[in-house]
Amino acid sequence: MYRVGILGGGFGVRGHLPAFAAHAEFEVVAIASPHSAKKVAQERNIPNAFESCEAMLRGCDLDVVSVAGPPFTHHPDVLASIAAGKHVICEKPFALSVQQAQEMLAAAQKAKTATAVMHEFRWVPQRFALKELIANGHVAPLREIEITHLARMLRLENKRPNTWWFDRSKGGGIAGALLSHIIDSANWMAARAPVRSTGYLRTANPQREGPEGPFTISVDDGAFGLIDYGGGLIARVSVDGTTAVDSLTVAAHGENRSAVASGSGLHAMRLFSVDEEETSELECKPSPNARFGAVDQHVPPIMDLLDEFVKEIETGESIVPTFAEAVQTQNVLASIGFGS
């Protein structure tokens, strides 16, 4: 059983912690957060609590570090964890810049520890099935990948606290939070690196109202990109947090048919095959960890990713989202204005 330390008191507690705790191959032995570690450790029966990554690495025996703090902490915490000889899973956005991403990749390659990026949405059953349709030649030749995520979370009427999430210098904004996932999915479906990309960030509501009063944001609430993979394949990717509905479309368009996964959000999707003659709904095999969705809807796909991470640790052969793929995603993000 691999001993895990989790960095971060937000999604690290809501998503990473229950997934690691439910998985048979992992034991959560430490949590680190500058504000909430002691409280979380007491509530979740975690034996060790620390204020920082450095303190956690010094203070207990770990095999795996799950880096789930804010984006501006990823670079130093990943490098410190790798230098300490730990296996590392890092949340998205991977880094604040291409240079940081490249440095993290280089450190992992030199250390030869197991690493992965938490792009768990690859394992949503409809997305995984769509990827298999492409890989097996059922959508061919593949010409266009389309991923559009509409959400209500950043409409002006929604009051949100003024945290790092609204600070561009700290990696806040919807491009890092959600477009990073979408770019990763497009690259994964294309099965090759982008040749070039372009796009832009948009801030529709620069003035916001929070529980403590009005404030000005420096981040995007919409992000839009166009990716060229060469060989006649492009991707259109977008996320908009200011719409009236919650909707997600993930589609692969070929010359023979389209495969379209759609629904109200990241986990509520249905998959269809569409050609000249008919539209058919395809049944998708559920996650083997589906029962853990009662804890949180993010937990089953994270556990599916962790299944592969165990293989990566033990054999070096897996289908985890890699640091090298994260650099490709970071390049696309930089091309539309996120980081540099």
Q: What is the pLDDT of residues 21-80, one digit of tens each?
A: 999 999 999 999 999 999 999 999 999 999 999 999 999 999 999 999 999 999 999 999
- Which H helix or E strand runs over 134? helix 125-135
pLDDT over 70 (residue 274): yes
Q: Single out the residue in 105, 120, 135 at which a domain terminates.
A: 120
Tell whether 72 and 144 lie within a shared domain: no
Tell whether 139 and 218 lie within a shared domain: yes
The verdict on whether omega for the bond into residue 93 sits within 30 degrees of 0, i.e. cis, is yes
Identity of the residue numbered 336: I
Per-residue pLDDT band at 205 (split at 50, 70, 90): very high
Tell whether 103 and 158 lie within a shared domain: no
User: How many domains does the chain contain in total?
Assistant: 2
CATH number of the domain bearing residue 192: 3.30.360.10
Tell whether 168 and 33 lie within a shared domain: no
The CA angle 135-326-94, to the nearest 5 degrees, is: 140
Single pTM value for the model:
0.98
Residue given tokens 């964890």 in the structure block: 81
Beta bridge partners of 182: none
Tell whether 165 and 273 lie within a shared domain: yes
Is the residue at 138 inside a domain?
yes
Greater pLDDT, 110 or 339: 110
Average pLDDT, the chain: 97
Tell whether 149 and 34 lie within a shared domain: no
CA 161 to the chain's CA centroid = 22
Per-residue pLDDT band at 266 (split at 50, 70, 90): confident
pLDDT over 80 (residue 340): no
Cα separation values, 104 from 107, 244, 317, Å:
5, 38, 20
Q: What is the pLDDT of residues 76-103, one digit of tens each?
A: 999 999 999 999 999 999 999 999 999 9
Q: Single out the residue in 70, 91, 120 at which a domain terminates.
A: 120
DSSP 8-state secondary structure symbol assigned to residue 338: S
- Terminal Cα distance for the chain, rounded: 39
- Determine the structural domain holding residue 57 and report its residue range: 2-120
DSSP 8-state secondary structure symbol assigned to residue 123: G
Tell whether 202 and 327 lie within a shared domain: yes
Tell whether 174 and 279 lie within a shared domain: yes
Q: Alpha-carbon distance 4 to 63, whole Å? A: 6
Inter-residue contact 116 to 322 (CB < 8 Å):
yes
- Residue 95: CB partners within 8 Å, gap ≥ 6? 71, 74, 75, 101, 104, 326, 330, 339
Is the residue at 90 inside a domain?
yes
Inter-residue contact 282 to 272 (CB < 8 Å):
yes
Tell whether 129 and 115 lie within a shared domain: no
Tell whether 75 and 51 lie within a shared domain: yes
Q: What is the pLDDT of residues 228-244, one digit of tens each?
A: 999 999 999 999 999 99
Q: What is the pLDDT of residues 129-179, one digit of tens each?
A: 999 999 999 999 999 999 999 999 999 999 999 999 999 999 999 999 999
Concatenating the DSSP letter of every residue in 282-308 gives: E--PPPTTGGGGGT-TTHHHHHHHHHH
Q: Single out the residue in 64, 88, 120 at which a domain terminates.
A: 120
Inter-residue contact 238 to 332 (CB < 8 Å):
no
Inter-residue contact 311 to 318 (CB < 8 Å):
yes
Tell whether 110 and 132 lie within a shared domain: no
Beta bridge partners of 208: 215
Greater pLDDT, 268 or 48: 48
Q: What is the β-pairing status of strands 87-90 and 115-117? A: parallel
* CA-only gyration radius of the chain, Å: 20
Residue 339: the pLDDT is 86
Tell whether 104 and 180 lie within a shared domain: no
Pseudo-torsion of CA 130, 135, 140, 142, nearest 10°? 70
CA 322 to the chain's CA centroid = 12
